[in-house]
Amino acid sequence: MLDFFKGYKKFAIGFGILCAVIIAIIYSVLNVEKPLPIYQPSQVDTTLVDSTIQYVKKYHKIADFSLTNQNGKTITQNDYKDKIYVADFFFTTCQTICPIMTDHMLAIQKEIITDDEVKLLSHSVTPVIDSVAQLKKYALQKGVNDKKWNLVTGDKKQIYELARKSYLAVKSDGNGDKYDMIHTENFMLIDKKRQIRGFYDGTNPEAISELLNDIKTLKKEYK
């Protein structure tokens, strides 16, 4: 009888160890940080995507661009090479959601100010009004750091195509001007491969917190 219990004791110890290992494995799997999704045009609200690419299910990237920032400098995709960045669309005379979006971009700027891996990019949707001088005035008023954040203006058609065909972020206005548009509150998180990794409500503080956390998650992909 005693030998039976000794054998049972060994079995119980072995079974306990096995259970502990299984629990540890399950805990480890459940707590592995999942990578951020890579967004494709087919996954996004069709009102934000140009009809010519709504069917695209893979390989979507931000197109090449050439625009002018608040200092009169030409900004291209090369200025964001090997960078993670947050992009949005705004205009300096907007009195509704833009001031809130700008304040939240400033909050992001504060968090990434010493992080050489992350930058910001804001596109004017009224480039005729938002000249270099106007952007510079706005940048100075708001506290934009030139090393971290470019406010860009340029050819309206190019900006429209970037919004609709690259960033999947802007609705067309339909007021008669083929390239006129209205912007949305969306912030887009772009990775080092120029892929969209997240959309966030730029007017919502909770979404900004989520964005900042997602930047940390995305950075881990490059370690």
**Per-residue tokens: 18:** 């096995």
For residues 90 and 122, the answer to whether their CB atoms sit within 8 Å is: yes
Q: How far apart are CA 42 and CA 181, in angstroms?
A: 21
Side chain identity at residue 213, one-letter code: N
Q: Tell me, what DSSP letter sits at residue 117?
A: T
Side chain identity at residue 127, one-letter code: P
**104 appears as a binding residue in the annotation:** no
Report the SS3 class of residue 196: strand
Cα dihedral 139, 98, 63, 57 in deg (nearest 10): 150
**19 appears as a binding residue in the annotation:** no
**Per-residue tokens: 56:** 């695209």
**60 appears as a binding residue in the annotation:** no
In this structure, are strands 186-190 and 181-182 parallel, antiparallel, or unpaired?
unpaired
Annotated binding-site residues for Cu cation read 94, 98, 183
**Which residues make up each annotated binding site?**
94, 98, 183
